[in-house]
Amino acid sequence: MMWGITGTPGTGKSSLADELAARGYPVLHLSETTAPYIIEQDAARQTAVIDEERWVAKLSPFAGFVEGHLAHLLPCDRVVVLRCRPDVLALRLGKRRYPPEKIRENLEAEALDGILIEALEEHPPEHVLELDTTYRSISETADRIEDFIHEKLPPSHGTTDWSEFLEHMV
């Protein structure tokens, strides 16, 4: 089984993956797999542009958790979309020294449910779980993910609404 952990940068994907690895699960950090598929480096946005279709087609199946903001594009058996309230997310991304335009881009994507929508376009709704990590501990979030992959927690999505933050971004 391949389980995806996805979300906007700063929502807790890497921290959760580390916690799940400490609990004995195999984990693949997808950032370690994309180098051969970089089309260009966007210096202004401090990001690499990936040939996503080629990357998805070439990535070997993985038994365990795949972690990264593109994980929902893979043929995962279950997908967890991590969410974070935009004002808290802005603080997290600021600590990473993201430039203002990159922070704004990620806040807009979070407020508009960008990754959740993509995940639901790629996967049956019953295979997708949305989790708000704003004030939830890594341990509690990992517990919920374990319950979801073992079918002890039902899928849930569409309950997080950050649209009010869009008004403040204009």
**How far is 50 from 52, CA to CA, in rounded Å?**
5
CATH code, domain with 75 = 3.40.50.300
Residue 169 scores a pLDDT above 90: no
- 8 A C-beta contact, residue 124 and residue 72: no
Per-residue pLDDT at 163: 87
**How far is 63 from 60, CA to CA, in rounded Å?**
10
Number of domains into which the chain is organized: 1
Mean pLDDT of 121-130: 98
- 8 A C-beta contact, residue 46 and residue 6: no
The single-letter DSSP state of residue 81 is E
The tens digit of pLDDT for each residue in 61-98 reads 999 999 999 999 999 999 999 999 999 999 999 999 99
pLDDT band at residue 2 using 50, 70 and 90 as cut-offs: very high
High-pLDDT (> 70) share of the chain, %? 99
Q: Which of 60, 62, 106 is nearest to 83 (CA)?
A: 106
Per the structure, the complete domain to which residue 25 belongs is given by 2-169
**How far is 119 from 124, CA to CA, in rounded Å?**
9
The tens digit of pLDDT for each residue in 24-74 reads 999 999 999 999 999 998 877 778 889 999 999 999 999 999 999 999 999
Residue 165 scores a pLDDT above 90: no
Residue 145 scores a pLDDT above 60: yes
